[in-house]
Every structure is written in C-alpha cells, then in structure tokens.
Amino acid sequence: MINKYLQNIQYEWPFIFLFIYVVLQAFYNFNLWLILPVIVIALRIITLSNLKTLITVSVMTVFVIGYARFQATLFQNLEHLPIESQEMRAILYTNPFDVKSDEESVRGEGKVQVVHQSEKIELKVNFIQWLEDDDPQFQSLREESTVWYVEGKFEKLDEARNFDVFDYKAYLASQNIAWEFEITNIYQLKPDTSFVGKLDTFRYTLLEPFIKLNHHEWIAIYNKLLFNIDSDTYRHYKDNFTALGVAHFFAISGFHIYFIRRLLNNVLLRLGMPIEYAKMLITVLLWLYTWLVGWPIGVIRVLSMSSLSSLKTKYHLPIASLDSLAIVGILFICFNPLNVLSLGYTLSFVMTFVVMSYNQASPSKHSAIQSIEMTFACLLLSWPIIMQTSFEWNVIQILVVILFTVVFNHLIMPLVFLTTLWIVFSLPGLETLSAWLDRGVIFFNELLSQSDVFHSFNLIVGKQAPVIFYLLILVALFFIACIHVRPFLSYGVFLLMYLIILFGVPYLDPTVKLTMIDVGQGDAMLFQLGHQQGNWLIDTGGKRLWEPVEGSNIDHSYAEWNLIPALKALGVNQLDGVIITHPDIDHIGNLQALSQAINIQELWVSNYTLESDIWEEISAEVKVNTVVSLDMGQSYKHPTVPLTLYSPALSDIKYSQSESNDSSLITQIDIEGLAVLSLGDVTKRIETKILATYPEIRADILKVAHHGSDTSTSEELLTHTQPSLSFISAGLDNQYGHPHTEVTDLLNQYSIPYLSTEKVGAVQLTYHPLKGYQIRTVIKK
C-alpha cells in the first residue's frame, strides 16, 4: 500500500517541498513577489493531473500552515504579556553552552518560569546579569547546567533601527524568544538535577578539554568546525570566512560528517568487523556525535538522509535521491515551521540539491572538473540568498571556494583528526603543535586582511529588489540545467547576466533617496542620486567612550555595527562626498572607521574642523582621496550635485558659548524642486545670522538642528522657511532628553509634523518620476 502510494508521487517530492517552503515564507514575510513562485510551482503540480500528488501537497500545506499559525499565536500571546519593566521573582534554567561572560556581565539564553496572575508561565529569554566584581559563584555557570532563583525585570527586545540591516529581534523571534530578562537580584544558584540538565552538563564535561583550549586560534576554528563550539577567538575570524564564501564549512554543510564516516568505516573494516555491523555502529556513533555537537541542521540532514536511504534499500521504497532530500526537508518543516526562516536551513538544502542534481546528471566526468562545476553551481544558487543579508558580492569567491574545498578535504580534515588524537590522548607537544598551527591561521588572516586584490573585487550591492533576486536565481537554474550539455554557453550566460543585473540594472533606477540613518545620539544623512550618479553623506555619527582607551575617547568600533551595515544595506559601494558639519564626536566620530571600510572620494570640512583637536587625532588614519575645506563665512553651490553649503562667519561664532556647534556647515539639498535643509548643531543665534546673510535659503523639509535641543530651532527660522515636514535625529532613551518638548511644541504650534529617529528609527524620503515623493520609516508607529 505504502509502496504504491510512493510510486504515484515518485520524483514529485522536490516540488511538494518547494511549494510548502515558499508558502511558509509568504506566511511569515508576505510580499507580492512571493506570489510568483507559489503560482509557478502550483501550476507545475496541477498540470501533472496526479490526484495523489495534489492530495499530498494540499494536506501537508494545510497541516504546516495550521501548525505555523498555532505557533505564531502562542508566541504573540507571550509577546503581549503585560510584564514589561515589572520586578518579578523567577526561576531561570541555563546550560553552559548558552552562557557567555566577560568582566561586565553574564548573559545568554535560557528558560524562565514566572507566576503571572496566578498562572505559571514558561518563557525562552535572553538574560543578562550585570557584574559589580568578579564573583566566583558564576564560574560554575560555564561548566554545568544551573537553576537560578532570582528577581528581575522583563524588557522588550530592541528592534532594528535602520533599513534592511540584520534584525536581532526578528532573529530571536524565529527562536521563540520575545523578551530580555534583566536580573536584579540572585537568591540562589544550584545545579540543574533534571534529566535534561544532567545531559547538558555531561555533554559539556565531554567537550571541556577542547573548550579550555579555545584561546588557540587553530583550536578555536577546529572547535567550531568539529563540535559547533562558538568562541570569541573564532568570531574574530568569522567575518573573513564569510567574505571568502567559506563560512558554510563551519556552520551548515555537514561536509565533515562524510570524512568522519569514511574514517570510522575504514577503521572498523580494518579491525575485521562485518560490514552490516560496522554500518549499524557507525550510525549509532554519528547520532551520538550529533547530540554532542548540539543538533546542527547540516549534520541532522546528512544522517536523516542516510537513515532514509537505508529504509529505502531495506523495504524497496520507490524514492529517488532528490525525493529523499525533499522528504527530509519537509520533516524539518513539520517539526518546526520556523526552520524556513533560518539561513542555515535554506543554504544547507539548496547546496545539497545542487550537488545531488549535478552528480545525477554527470556521473562520468573527471572528478576535478566535476568538483569545480559543482562548487560553481552551489555558489550561483547561494549568492542571491547570501546577498540579501551580507549586501556584498565578490567574484573571487569562485577561486577561493574551489581551492578551499581541496584544502578542506586534503589538509584541514586530516589536521582535525590529528588534533583530536593529540587532545584526547594528551600527547606531548600539544602547545608546540598549537603554536605552529596558530601562526599559520594568523598569517592567513593577515594576508587576507591586507589583500588589496581580493577586496578590490568586492562589490557592495545593497538589499536586492525582488526582481533582481529572481533573475539571479534563474541564472543559477539555467547554469545547473545546461552545464552538462553546453558548458561554454552556461558560463557565458552567467558572466553576461551578472554584469547586466549587478552592474547595469542599478543605473536604470531613477529613484533619488534621502535617508536619515539612525546612528543613535548623533547625525548621519545619506543623499543618493538617481541612476547611480553619486552618494553623499552628511556627518557620520559617532560614540564617546567615557573611559578613554590609549588616550582617545572615540569608540571606533561603533561604526562597524551601526553606520557601515546601514550604508551597505542601502547599496553604498562608494561615497562621492562626505560632509562633516563640525568636530563633535557624534558627527565625526565614525569617520575614521568609515573611511577604512568604504572608499571616500571627497571629504568636505570647514577650516574650523581642520584646526580642531579631534581632527588632529584622527586625520592620520582617515583614508580619503581629497580633502576640501570651506573658509568660514563662505558658501558653495556644487556644479553637478544639487546641494549648496553655507558656512557661518568666524566673527559670528568667535564668542559663542557653543563654538563647535555654531561652526556647523549648513547644507541645502534640492530634490526635484523640494528643498531639504540640514542645520548641523547651530544655535538660534547662528540661524538668525545665516538667514540674514543668505535670505534665499529654503526648507520644504527641515532637518532640525542639534537633535531637537531647545538651543536651536527659532520661531524666526520656522517663519522664514515655512517647512511642511521636519526630521529629528536623536538617540533612543538618550541622556539629554532630545528632542526637547520646547521644540516639538513649537513644531506643533506651527503645524509642522516631525519624524524623529528616537521614535521611528531611520527615515527615508524617495522621489521617482512616476511615483512622486514618498516617506517611509523603519518602525511603524
């Protein structure tokens, strides 16, 4: 009966899987473009006129969507519990793999049990415990599962505040985590004696000899690859692995399982064990290994497909190889529909699909050619997916991944095996061996970091429009379908289409964009001309270190997780101009890090900024092609870009109580007749002086000065410019109370609506010849 049923839908499982996957994606992140693949796959299934296939896909889709809806409803109920900022007693359960600590805090993920309105509630949370000193009781948290009896407050997770950047809140939601729990008081810490707790503690005990060596570069990489153990040392190299396109070897591929299985098989057979017994023992050992490394998707996929293959052979089930992959993918979704939101899940199944399809179509090709073509096909299908989150593309990845695949199989995995023997059996010379391997890792990392050749091929593409994403997917599918029969045509189509799609299509877009980036308590406004005619940035934002490091109180790491990702998401591959209004950290602090990450053609500053202490501190490390300075009291209308700069006169700021603020360059941008005026941090007195000197200044949209401080934004300014909308750049929960109520009340009095980054995150004004002007914000209020 089962065989007959499976026979009727043999070869159709991949389409069933794709349909369920795409429908689920539409359920979680609906947009009109997702309807297109749903219709295409549905038509493919319907045209078969196979009743059993139709029934199968219908039943499975209804089940999965129903389960996903039920799961989402439960999560929303937990998310909307009225417990925010309430002091509550709770029991927190943690395991050592999810706990991280440093000098300031202990943090991680765990389960919290609380009583709310006489009801016992269990929540998955991000927790944090701030440390006042080095408390030895927290050492045990790194070594065993623990039960905390505590008091603390639940807080909402922070939303992404810039367009299309990584949304940590959404990521945690895909893990069913809706709250952060801040511990304010600990009553008791004790070992978790439950079965699950003991199991996690035992797992940590087994891995402890490896974890204690995480300070070694090679062993930190080895631990991530073999045991899925994260560490600060590995994270130091993670960005370079991602840039090279080889991060999947350390996260999702399950490639090392094949090496381990071959190794175990050879050892057991050489010991004389019968083949059937060897297979059974290897299967048991690999599932135990999967538990040991925390059930990563790639490893489970490999072993599940292997188990299904054994069932297929034993019971003569009519299931094709790609059917096995699709069935395992569907089982993943049935177990947890949120898996479709995991990049690891998607890439794991995508690359396996490519490998299996290729192997079936060309089993007789030379292994070297087969490896190159297969790797290239994997990259083509994974690139569009990865671009949606990394916003970058580098063609050199083709060469790197092909070479790394060879090195992985013939060098890295043998070294992993030798390292395991050295650690497990405590062989002499471990420190010496590790030191040599560490030097190799450090040398390779420095070589990559300083390689101008590799980075010169890196293209920042931004968040791709759906039409571009689908075009790139079609290029990949064409390559996979035709590489066996017309290889030269396949490579030619790839090259031509990528040149057109990534380098040509953006020049067809006439949209002009003005984005007030949320850089916290600071300013950064990006002006992007249509048809890729230029990107201009007014100020860079920045963050102050309250305890100076090496004589500097600028936090140079702030740009790396705030401004630079926001610019990359907006597709900024180069900045034609950066305007620094004045030398305050919240306006210039990110400049040094920005210039080292994104090419800057021209830097526009005032003479006042060039003579400032902060410029003297950072100028040697700022990489720009040209520095253009404006004399105080000078105005400048750019000949090719619709912006005008105004500089206050030196005599007007000489005796100011806020001399730096009052030196701010003022910028007027014209977007097809709509004037946007950005005032830096000037005070009301300078506003008056500027209007008197330059009465032609306009402001249909006013970028309010000094983050909405009551020292700026005079009635005279509003009367003169009569803006119809205003923007305010202020940090969430900032210590200055910006924007001040005096300013917002004045704006309301003049019937001028305002959008503040403090409330809505980044704000973007766009102009398209056909669509006109549009405003959007990251956070919908």
Query: Has residue 248 got a pLDDT over 70?
Result: no
Asked whether the beta carbons of 576 and 177 are under 8 A apart, the reply is: no
Is pLDDT at 173 greater than 60 in this prediction?
A: yes
Distance CA(242)–CA(454), nearest Å, equals 13
- Res. 366: pLDDT tops 70: no
**How much is the pLDDT for 291?**
92
Q: What is the pLDDT of residue 261?
A: 85
Could you tell me the end-to-end alpha-carbon distance of the chain, in angstroms, rounded to an integer?
A: 56
When the pLDDT of each residue in the chain is averaged and rounded to a whole number, the result is: 89
Instruction: List phi, psi (to 5°) of 353.
Output: -60, -45
Mean pLDDT of 402-429: 83
For residues 627-654, give the mean pLDDT: 90
Please check the confidence at residue 517 and state whether its pLDDT lies above 60: yes
Whether the predicted pLDDT of 141 surpasses 60: yes
Domain layout of the chain by residue ranges: 15-79, 87-203, 512-777
**pLDDT grade, residue 647 (50/70/90)?**
very high
Question: What distance in Å separates the CA atoms of residue 64 and residue 79, rounded to the nearest whole number?
Answer: 22
Query: CA-to-CA distance for 200 and 219, rounded, in angstroms?
Result: 22
pLDDT at 48 > cutoff 80:
no
Q: What are the tens digits of pLDDT across the range 280-298?
A: 899 899 999 999 989 888 8
pLDDT at 347 (0 to 100): 86
Beta bridge partners of 536: 527, 577
The pTM (predicted TM-score) of the whole model is 0.91
Rounded to whole angstroms, how far apart are CA atoms 49 and 52?
A: 9
> Higher confidence at residue 422 or residue 744?
744
Tens of pLDDT along 544-576? Answer: 988 877 778 899 899 998 999 999 999 999 999
Fold (topology level) of 512-777:
Metallo-beta-lactamase; Chain A (3.60.15)
The runs of H, that is alpha helices, within 483-590 are 487-498, 558-561, 563-569, 585-588
pLDDT tens readout for residues 294-309: 988 888 888 898 889 8
Asked whether the bond before 739 is cis by omega within 30 degrees of 0, the reply is yes
3-state secondary structure 203-248: HHHHHHHHHCCCCCHHHHHHHHHHHCCCCHHHHHHHHHHHHHCCHH
Question: How many angstroms separate the Cα of 171 from the Cα of each of 449, 542, 758?
Answer: 29, 26, 22
Q: How far apart are CA 373 and CA 361, in angstroms?
A: 12
Contact 82, 154 (CB under 8 A): no
Residue with tokens 């299509």: 505
Q: Which one, of 767, 768, 769, 761, lies nearest residue 159 by Cα?
A: 761
Asked if the model's pLDDT at residue 76 lies above 90, the reply is yes
pLDDT band at 462 (very low <50, low <70, confident <90, very high): very high
Sequence-distant (6+) residues with CB within 8 A of 419 are 218, 219, 222, 433, 437
Q: Over the stretch 301-355, which tens digit does the pLDDT of each residue have?
A: 888 988 898 888 888 888 888 899 999 999 999 999 999 998 888 888 888 888 8
In a 3-state reduction of DSSP, which class is residue 182? strand
Give the span between the Cα atoms of 723 and 677, in whole angstroms: 9
Mean pLDDT of 213-228: 88
Architecture of domain 87-203: Beta Barrel (2.40)
Is residue 713 a contact partner of residue 743, using CB atoms and an 8 Å limit? Answer: yes
pLDDT at 134: 57
- With pLDDT > 90 as the criterion, what percentage of the chain qualifies? 52
- The pLDDT value recorded for residue 244 is 80
- DSSP collapsed to 3 states, 756-777: EHHHHCCEEEEEECCCEEEEEE
For the CA atoms of 431, 433, 437, 438, the dihedral, rounded to the nearest 10 degrees, stands at: 10
DSSP class per residue in 269-304 = HHTT--HHHHHHHHHHHHHHHHHHTT--HHHHHHHH
Residues 147 and 95 sit within 8 Å (Cβ to Cβ): no
Q: Looking at the predicted structure, is the pLDDT value of residue 651 above 90?
A: no
